A and B are shown apart, each in its own frame.
Chain A
């Protein structure tokens, strides 16, 4: 492919990117068919690209390449057989009639994932954060937030049921933690979205000025 073709292809690609970006930005003024068209294109392209990536980065190097060159891969025949059996069992999930045969493979995956996640959370998050200097503050925020969602109450006589006074006080603190957390999340999302909008408009303007004014 010549340099001219590559340059024209880049210009054509940028033009498509500009059009699709405008379609998406039109959502700021309300839902529109062009917005839906752009969304469908993005989802389709992302799914197709992900499938290709999985095939070339996972299936071929992890399954087919070792089958062709078992010694070079460093795997034993038992390891290779175990991989093939697990893959075949997972493929049975494609049909509802044979889906139950894939349960052992699914259970294996879920079990490994749960064990890794729980072990990592305990060792990588719970213990390190609890032992830090702000561990007490983090613990207080966690307990207060959980108590805020405790709605157990008792009724005294004709009065409406109310929560315990201590629970009420801690729940107020939990409400403060929740408010701050949501505010920080909203601010972070807003800043990230704002930067994304700036980047898109900057891209559109830069490429349009290049196309129009050279």
Chain B
């Protein structure tokens, strides 16, 4: 622990300042102090030596060896011719500014003694900025430089006024004003309650930059004088601080254990005789008459007194000695490893770009520039081949369809009427057995894209039903289905059958709800799809119109015909409506893509679907059987040619694909063998 209450860094001993090492060496080895003409160290003014009172000699038996050496050196110096006292008598080597200071001090002392300042007041309080003056004393005064302008500029007003006072030309009024200054300052001190703060001396009154007492003692060659009365301790030093002040020099045990290691570890060296001869007396004895009489009290109070022993860390009385808070007391000490006073490190804003970085930057710029550059897409051979094949296939397909249509001949006969499909034959039988004028429920449940296929498949069926006198009720579970049904009845079959809307067929419209809607409709058609229409100005429900007036459930229809392209829709009809149909036949005309999924329902023993027709082929069968020509006949030629071309293209493509696969399989081992 240091005197300041915290651990000093380890290198504090190693990196002690030179002046401190010099002092230590001098004190330890008894070497001579620096010559008088040398420049004073920082914080040490030339006047310090003169202001330090003489120290009494200690008993020669006490003290370590190095102290004995110093004393022996003093005894040698006693034999020499005693030099004039530098403290009072100006020597030849003293500068002029020091002489001026001495004169001012003497004049000031005399004036203070004659002034009306109470004895219990501190001398320094009579001088505003007295501490500053003391600090100024340690610096070379402008007067010393001989520059009058500098002197006027640097000296404060109160100092200049003080100087003017010392001059005989000073006016009496100014003198009186100066005499009144202490009272006014006293008032200021009272206003500031400086005296009400017990035990807290102004921080500026202790010269923290001065040497510690033990170092001063070493430099002087002995402890402080014993005759320093305790009552001369300044009033701002509290009693606690007085107790912490180091005891008199005779009570200090200067054993090596109390000294810094760098002092105690240094071996004592005998100073060279030449150096001893040239070394002046480090602390010449003061003449008795000049010991303390001329020392002002305020300056005496500001002398480098013994620094109180540093209190425990964190306790009141700790004084900061470093940094901007130096001199303040009762502060929480900071960790010395953390606080480091000094110039903050500066970081260069200039980028440290190496050649590697430049190379990487160039690569990145090149990549970005290449990305923004327009590139022509690389067309592979496979893409060209696929495009060509696509064009060839499309052309063949279009020609195979368009040419038979443009020729318009019946070049390809319809399938033989004696070999129709099973579903087609069953449909013929069911329609043939329809009662005359019986209601038939027709559901147009397909997408518009399948209109052509379902027209070709169902035109002959509708023709047959209408010839049998069936009365149709059309509806759909698809929003566009009912309108397609109306369009089919009014246009496709308009040439052969003259329909009168709302009399020969009924448009029930759109049935919402999907399977649930179908289930509800099958149970209660009239309640599910209430429709009204005008007949000669009267609003009549379609369910009151014959033959629907006899329909209460779906089983009351003579037949149910479903046209759909979706297996799901067909399955919904089978699952939801067929169980409620009873003996009413369920006939389905579906697209080719839905047929595979509906055949099991048709061929099952339950017979859920009574008749099933699919696509243009069954329509052609029906037309052939009915010996009529409708949509199937119109499409049959193109359909047959295009189907043949398509089969050929598919077969050829399969062959090419298989051949290329075989070639690739044979080439792979050879390529791997080469590699």
Contact yes or no, B600 A199, CB < 8 A: no
Q: Are A205 and B453 in contact (CB under 8 A)?
A: no
B604 touches which one: A57, A113, A132 (CB < 8 A)? Answer: A132
**Chain B 444-465 per-residue mask, 1 if CB under 8 angstroms from chain A, else 0:** 0000111111011000000000
Known: A116-B519, A120-B572, A132-B604. A195 touches B635 (CB 8 A): yes
Tell me the A15-68 residues at the B interface (CB within 8 Å). 25, 28-30, 46, 49-50, 53-54, 56-58, 61, 65
B606-A121 in contact (CB<8A) = no
CB-CB under 8 A from B510, the residues of chain A are 53-54, 57-58
CA distance A73 to B601 in the complex (A): 38
Determine the main DSSP class of B at the interface with A.
helix
B401–A198 CB distance below 8 A: yes
Query: For window 80-128 of chain A, which residues contact chain B by CB distance below 8 Å?
Result: 112-113, 116-117, 120-121, 123-125, 128
Does A179 sit within 8 A of B, measured CB to CB?
Answer: no
Residues of A within 8 A of B594 (CB): 188
The answer to whether A129 and B600 touch (CB under 8 A), given A29-B394, A195-B615, is: yes
Task: Give bound CA distance, A84 to B523, whole Å.
Answer: 23
Q: Are A57 and B512 in contact (CB under 8 A)?
A: yes
Q: Report the minimum CB–CB distance from B540 to chain A (whole Å).
A: 13
Q: Given A29-B390, A192-B450, A194-B646, A201–B402 Cβ distance below 8 Å?
A: yes
Stretch at the interface among B34-42, B65-73, B289-297, B636-644: B636-644
* B320, CB-defined interface residue at 8 Å: no
Within 8 A of B (CB), among A154-171: none
Interface stretch, picked from B123-131, B234-242, B575-583, is B575-583
Q: Do residues B608 and A124 form an inter-chain contact, with CB atoms below 8 A?
A: yes
B101 lies within 8 A of chain A by Cβ: no
Interface residues on A, range: 35 or more
Kindly list chain A residues whose C-beta atoms are within 8 Å of the C-beta of B405. 198, 201-202, 205
Bound Cα distance from A117 to B575, whole angstroms: 8
CB distance from B435 to the nearest CB of A (A): 27
Q: Do A195 and B515 have beta carbons less than 8 Å apart? A: no
Are B512 and A54 within 8 A (Cβ)? Answer: yes
- Residues of A close to B49: CB separation below 8 A: none
Q: Could you say which residues of chain A place their CB within 8 Å of the CB of B531?
A: 61
With an 8 A cutoff between CB atoms, is A143 at the interface?
Answer: no
By a CB distance below 8 angstroms, the chain B residues around A190 are: 646
Q: By the criterion CB–CB under 8 Å, are B480 and A49 in contact?
A: yes
Cβ contact of B479, chosen from A50, A120, A124, A184, cutoff 8 A: A50
> Across the interface, which residues of A come within 8 angstroms of B595, CB to CB?
188
Interface pair B576/A199, CB less than 8 Å apart: no
Query: Do A185 and B593 contact each other (CB < 8 Å), given the known contacts A132-B606, A198-B452?
Result: yes
Question: Does B98 belong to the interface (CB within 8 Å)?
Answer: no
In the assembled complex, A200 has its CB within 8 A of some CB on chain B:
yes
Q: Which residues of A contact B456 (CB under 8 A)?
A: 195, 199
Alpha-carbon separation in the docked complex, A74 to B406 (Å)? 58
Q: Give the chain A neighbours of B635 by CB distance below 8 A.
A: 195, 198-199, 202
A188-B603 in contact given A197-B642, A199-B456 (Cβ < 8 Å): no
Residue pair A189, B593 in contact (C-beta under 8 Å): yes
- Most B C-beta atoms less than 10 A away, residue of A57, A185, A203: A57
Let me know if A202 and B638 touch, CB within 8 A.
yes
Give B contacts to A, CB under 8 Å: 387, 390-391, 394, 397-398, 401-402, 405-406, 448-453, 455-456, 479-480, 482-483, 509-510, 512, 514-516, 519, 527, 529-531, 565, 571-572, 574-576, 578-579, 591-596, 600-601, 603-606, 608, 615-616, 631, 634-635, 638-639, 642-643, 646
Contacts A58-B512, A194-B639 known; list 13 others, CB within 8 Å: A53-B482, A61-B530, A120-B519, A120-B575, A120-B576, A134-B603, A185-B593, A194-B642, A197-B642, A198-B405, A201-B398, A201-B402, A205-B405
